């Protein structure tokens, strides 16, 4: 599968410039027959508090409309992030959304571990369930930024996944943690891990290196086959059969002993797709 990681640097939420930049990136990826493009946490707004106005209702979201239209036009699946406002309750969630090649929203994961040090717990509601999604012949487990520090989340879903995805706004001052945790999640779960981080400066002056990367199920750093440096795009060719090979040759997952992490009663999205209204 051909997968692109895009370390996008948002300038102004839902601006025509940002939409045009992402459109250019997606068209570039299409030329390389990319199957899936992954963008960072809160792709167009950045991780900005207390600007709760950045939250969007799914029913009329400019970000969602843009990505669904581009996915359909270019025949590319897309994972991206945004603050989602629940229309009925007004609760706000930090979400990862998955749009398939037909332009359909198939999955939504709401961030479970909120970053209290940045005030996220004051504005956002925590998610209530893990989420995996099938794209092509592979299954992906979704997570967002601070989730990466809590291994039990990944333990709970890794047996069902070929890959674990973490979309992030992870500042460069903690880049050593970013790298170490991505590698650890890959090794302990014998999965590919895709870490997709934003680039540039945010409104608070934090710098983001745009150090998106992929680790394989042995914990090896996977090198991209192409780079578009000025747009911070990395293109990878991933053979997911490598996951089965590693797990069969060194079956550590079979020796795990743990209880299920989350209850299903609070799920708002079906596993492997289909919005519940």
Please tell me the predicted confidence (pLDDT) of residue 89.
Answer: 78
Confidence of residue 248 (pLDDT cuts 50, 70, 90): very high
Average confidence (pLDDT) over 153-180: 96
Q: How far is CA 25 from CA 2, 13, 69, in A?
A: 15, 17, 14
Question: Whole-angstrom Cα distance, residue 21 to residue 76?
Answer: 16
| Domain tally, the chain | 1
Q: Is residue 117 part of a domain?
A: yes
Across the chain, mean pLDDT equals: 90
Q: Is residue 274 part of a domain?
A: no
% pLDDT > 90, the chain: 80
Q: Is residue 277 part of a domain?
A: no
Token digits of residue 27 = 């068209």
Please tell me the predicted confidence (pLDDT) of residue 258.
Answer: 61
Please tell me the predicted confidence (pLDDT) of residue 152.
Answer: 94
Token digits of residue 84 = 């989602």
- Whether the per-residue pLDDT at 267 is higher than 80: the answer is no
- Whether the per-residue pLDDT at 266 is higher than 90: the answer is no
Q: 9-18, 49-58, 71-80, 82-91: lowest mean pLDDT where?
A: 49-58
Average confidence (pLDDT) over 194-217: 95
Q: Is residue 276 part of a domain?
A: no
Tokens 């990395």 locate to 234
Q: Is residue 99 part of a domain?
A: yes
CATH number at residue 155: 3.60.110.10
Average confidence (pLDDT) over 88-99: 92
Nearest to 276 by CA among 245, 267, 22, 134: 267
237 membership: H or E segment, kind and range: strand 233-237
Tokens 């090794």 locate to 187
Please tell me the predicted confidence (pLDDT) of residue 23.
Answer: 96
Average confidence (pLDDT) over 252-272: 56
Q: C-alpha angle with apex 182: 180 to 185, nearest 5 degrees?
A: 105
Please tell me the predicted confidence (pLDDT) of residue 3.
Answer: 98
Chain CA centroid to CA 42, Å: 10
- Whether the per-residue pLDDT at 50 is higher than 80: the answer is no
Please tell me the predicted confidence (pLDDT) of residue 151.
Answer: 96
Burial label, 265 (beta-carbon count in 10 A; 0-12, 13-18, 19+): exposed
Question: Whole-angstrom Cα distance, residue 28 to residue 16?
Answer: 18
Q: Is residue 260 part of a domain?
A: yes
- Whether the per-residue pLDDT at 59 is higher than 50: the answer is yes
Q: Is residue 77 part of a domain?
A: yes
Average confidence (pLDDT) over 204-231: 92
Backbone torsions φ then ψ of 193, nearest 5 degrees = -125, 125
Please tell me the predicted confidence (pLDDT) of residue 49.
Answer: 72
Average confidence (pLDDT) over 196-222: 95
Average confidence (pLDDT) over 36-41: 98
- Whether the per-residue pLDDT at 241 is higher than 90: the answer is yes
Please tell me the predicted confidence (pLDDT) of residue 177.
Answer: 98
Average confidence (pLDDT) over 204-218: 95
Domain membership of residue 157 as a residue range = 2-266
Confidence of residue 265 (pLDDT cuts 50, 70, 90): very low
Of 261 and 183, which is predicted with more confidence? 183
Please tell me the predicted confidence (pLDDT) of residue 14.
Answer: 65
Q: Is residue 43 part of a domain?
A: yes
- Whether the per-residue pLDDT at 255 is higher than 90: the answer is no
Token digits of residue 22 = 């992402």
């Amino acid at each position: 599968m051909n997968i692109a990681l895009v370390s996008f640097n948002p300038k102004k939420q839902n601006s025509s410039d940002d939409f045009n930049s992402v459109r250019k990136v997606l068209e570039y990826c299409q030329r390389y027959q990319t199957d899936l493009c992954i963008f960072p946490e809160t792709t167009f707004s950045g991780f900005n508090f207390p600007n709760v106005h950045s939250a969007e209702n799914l029913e009329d979201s400019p970000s969602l409309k843009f990505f669904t239209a581009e996915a359909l036009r270019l025949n590319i699946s897309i994972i991206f992030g945004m603050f989602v406002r629940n229309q009925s309750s007004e609760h706000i969630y930090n979400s990862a959304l998955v749009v398939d090649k037909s332009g359909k929203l198939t999955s939504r994961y709401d961030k479970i571990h909120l970053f209290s040090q940045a005030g996220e717990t004051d504005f956002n509601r925590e998610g209530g369930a893990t989420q995996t999604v099938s794209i092509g012949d592979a299954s992906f487990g979704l997570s967002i930024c601070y989730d990466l520090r809590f291994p039990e989340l990944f333990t709970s879903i890794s047996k069902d996944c070929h890959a674990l995805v973490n979309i992030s706004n992870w500042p460069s001052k903690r880049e050593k943690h970013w790298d170490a945790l991505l590698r650890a999640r890959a090794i302990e779960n014998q999965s590919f891990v895709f870490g997709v981080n934003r680039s540039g400066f945010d409104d608070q002056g934090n710098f983001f290196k745009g150090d998106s990367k992929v680790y394989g199920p042995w914990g090896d750093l996977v090198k991209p086959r192409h780079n578009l440096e000025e747009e911070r795009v990395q293109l990878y060719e991933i053979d997911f059969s490598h996951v089965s090979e590693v797990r069969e040759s060194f079956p550590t997952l079979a020796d795990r002993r743990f209880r299920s992490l989350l209850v299903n009663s609070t799920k708002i999205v079906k596993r492997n797709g289909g919005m519940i209204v």
